Amino acid sequence: MSTDFSVPGFRAAGVCCGIKARDLDLALITSDVLAAVAGVFTRSTVVGAPVEVSREHARKGRARGVVVNSGISNVAMGQRGLRDAREMTKLAARALDCAPEQVLVASTGVIGEPLPMAKLRKGIPKAAAALDRAGLPRAAEAIRTTDTFAKIRSVTGRIGGKTVKLSGMAKGSGMIEPNMATMLSFLVTDAAVSPAFLRRLLKQSVDVSFNKVTVDGEGSTSDTVLLMANGLAGNAVLRSASSPGAGRFAAMLTELCEGLAQDLARDGEGATKLVTVEVSGARNPAQADLAARRIANSMLVKTATFGGDPNWGRILQTVGAGRVQVDLQRAEVQLGGVTVFRRGSSAGAAARRRAEARLKDHEVTISLSLGAGRSKTRIWTCDLTYDYVKINAEYTT
């Protein structure tokens, strides 16, 4: 994986403005030129003020940058929250010499606490002064909350004879169940893409990446994915799926989003294992998705995975409880590539022992063939450990 995350025409910074004492807690990302922008946001009925403001600004299709704070989410703060979110865009716009409507905003952290605007009034100009071509890694650090590592990736490819680069960062390790994005993610590219097509491409990539992640079945109030494309690569503008290079760009965007999505699951709060849940043989896509989510969110399955217990009965139980159509005489369960259930019965003690050994790995695959059709899907999750309980029992204290 590349360690050079810089994208031509973009600068970023991560600074400490005092929200989280000594940690980086404020990020600023900007394009040197007006960029096409697309956003996908939470579907929760309880949303933060930054989501409301960014939805409004993203609809315009063009932006110069995004400002993000961590530590406080600016959720459930009423009119004060909206005023504060709008002031953050104005402060950033002043520093970037652009209109406030060309700045998007995001916040993450504790719900129900007011933003310390006095600190942000000093911090945002500080971040603007620290903007750097190589600043994305520091910005990725600044948006962390309970994350144990910064999540940042990059993809490069050729489109229309031009070299195009995509880089992105994400944060999130708890309160994660995809119903849009279930975290914060900020993506930048020097490709030339029309705003309308950029929105379409982002939605497609989110559906097969961030919307296929779950840590604990809890969707956030602040879920946001933003993608800016400044066009400095010089390729012919991508306007539709028939544009030359559109397929390649879509594949690059999906590769980037899938990598970040896996990082989110890998870093689930307290997690020790990245778990890939694969479901095939479903009657239809909805049944495949339901079966995968039942498995991925089952506390019994997640704790069994943590303990290395090859208990395939818990997998079949949760799928059945979800009223998923399954033909047990044709169904098959694999743990770590080892078949432990098939043709209506256990594959035996020897298979269980082999599966138990595979469950000790840090990356585990749970596969279920339902034997009821041809639809399939994949979801990324993690195990459920003692530390998840400890982290969330003490979150605000």
Q: Which residue has the tokens 């990446």?
A: 209
CA dist., res. 94 & res. 7, Å (int): 23
Single-letter residue type at 298? S
Closest CA to 250 of 164, 362, 371, 135: 164
Q: How would you classify the pairing of strands 338-342 and 162-171?
A: unpaired
Q: How far apart are CA 353 and CA 263, in angstroms?
A: 29
Name the 3-class secondary structure at 267.
coil
> How far is it, in rounded angstroms, from Cα 327 to Cα 372?
6
d(CA 278, CA 94): 48
| Residue 42 vs residues 70, 148, 200, 223, 226: alpha-carbon distances, Å | 17, 23, 16, 5, 12
Tokens in use for 117?
């605007």
Distance from C-alpha of 97 to C-alpha of 292, rounded to nearest angstrom: 47
> Annotated catalytic residue: which of 182, 377, 381, 385?
182
Query: Do 194 and 238 touch, CB atoms closer than 8 A?
Result: yes
The DSSP element (H or E) to which 159 belongs, if any, is strand 151-159
Q: Determine phi and psi for 58, rounding to 5 degrees.
A: -65, -30
User: Is 182 annotated in the active site?
Assistant: yes
How far lies 7's CA from each of 20, 24, 330, 358, in Å? Answer: 29, 22, 50, 40
User: Are residues 361 and 335 in contact, defined by beta-carbon separation less than 8 angstroms?
Assistant: no
195-207 vs 246-266: helix axis angle to the nearest 10?
40
To 5 degrees, how large is the angle CA 381–CA 179–CA 390?
Answer: 45
Q: What are phi and psi of 376, to 5 degrees?
A: -150, 165
As a whole number of angstroms, the distance between CA 68 and CA 316 comes to 42
Residue 329: other Cβ atoms inside 10 A: 10
**Which residue in this structure is represented by tokens 């604990």?**
216
Catalytic positions: 182
